[in-house]
């Protein structure tokens, strides 16, 4: 009798443990998202379109002076960027993208895949078709999305206070109308001009060095005393002499 009682007690404990474990598993499962849903854990060595989507959202966490490649290959640079992202949001910084990481990303993005604090309209006051620039409309829009995720990381690093975007994508017609340079990065959709607000222009220029921008122009550079310009050009060019850059 005693042995049967012990077996029943053990069985009950095992059932309850299983139920509790199931509850934990459910609680840690990433939910589906209106923009993009990840369906597997990603770590170093992973590759594919889901890694590409992750890299777009980690573009603002490459480290000082670096740029994270969006190539669909999860290597050391992606792992390091992921750890910075996880640390920035109070997650376990293990460099593995699982349910907790994905749920944080879902919370940071709208259904059109833009980060919650920025929008396509904010990065394009020229035309709604994204056409007429130096690249195809789809490329210009994709470049703007990458820029927005970098700005989202920068915004978070600056205490989650607003960043004011004064100019983004421009067609050749729009660029000529405002007197932009003939080779302006605005024509590619990967540039953003920022105005002063909660942050000074120099604060913006200095912080941008950590968030994947190869081009940084600010106060002290000709024609940039009233805004800070950020872009993703082919090689690094930072100049804001009034800010010590």
Any catalytic annotation for residue 31?
no
CA angle 184, 65, 245 (to 5 degrees): 70
For residue 159 the two structure tokens come to 């205490």
Assign 72 to helix, strand or coil.
coil
Question: Which residue bears the tokens 């990303």?
Answer: 105
**Could you say which of 224, 227, 229, 232 is catalytic?**
224
> What is the distance of C-alpha 7 from the center of its chain?
54
Task: Determine phi and psi for 69, rounding to 5 degrees.
Answer: -70, 140
| Closest alpha carbon to 209 in 89, 63, 84, 78 | 63
DSSP for 8-46 reads HHHHHHHHHHHHHHHHHHHHTSPPP-SS----S-B-TT-
Active site residues: 224
């Amino acid at each position: 009798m005693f042995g049967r009682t012990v077996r029943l007690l053990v069985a009950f404990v095992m059932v309850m443990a299983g139920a509790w474990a199931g509850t934990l598993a459910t609680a840690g499962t990433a939910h589906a998202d209106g923009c993009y849903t990840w369906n597997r854990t990603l770590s170093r060595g992973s590759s594919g379109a889901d890694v590409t989507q992750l890299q777009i959202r980690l573009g603002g966490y490459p480290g000082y002076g670096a740029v994270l490649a969006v190539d669909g290959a999860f290597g050391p640079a992606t792992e390091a960027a992921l750890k910075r992202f996880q640390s920035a949001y109070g997650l376990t910084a293990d460099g593995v993208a699982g349910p907790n990481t994905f749920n944080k990303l879902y919370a940071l993005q709208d259904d059109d895949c833009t980060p919650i604090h920025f929008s396509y309209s904010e990065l394009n006051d020229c035309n709604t078709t994204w056409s007429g620039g130096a690249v195809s409309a789809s490329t210009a829009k994709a470049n703007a999305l990458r820029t927005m995720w970098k700005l989202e990381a920068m915004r978070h690093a600056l205490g989650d206070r607003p960043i004011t975007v004064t100019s983004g994508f421009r067609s050749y017609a729009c660029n000529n109308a405002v007197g932009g340079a003939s080779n302006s990065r605005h024509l590619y959709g990967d540039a953003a001009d920022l105005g002063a607000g909660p942050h000074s222009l120099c604060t913006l220029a200095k912080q941008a060095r950590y968030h994947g921008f190869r081009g940084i122009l600010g106060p002290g550079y000709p024609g940039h005393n009233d805004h800070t310009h950020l872009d993703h050009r082919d090689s690094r060019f930072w100049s804001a002499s009034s800010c010590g850059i």
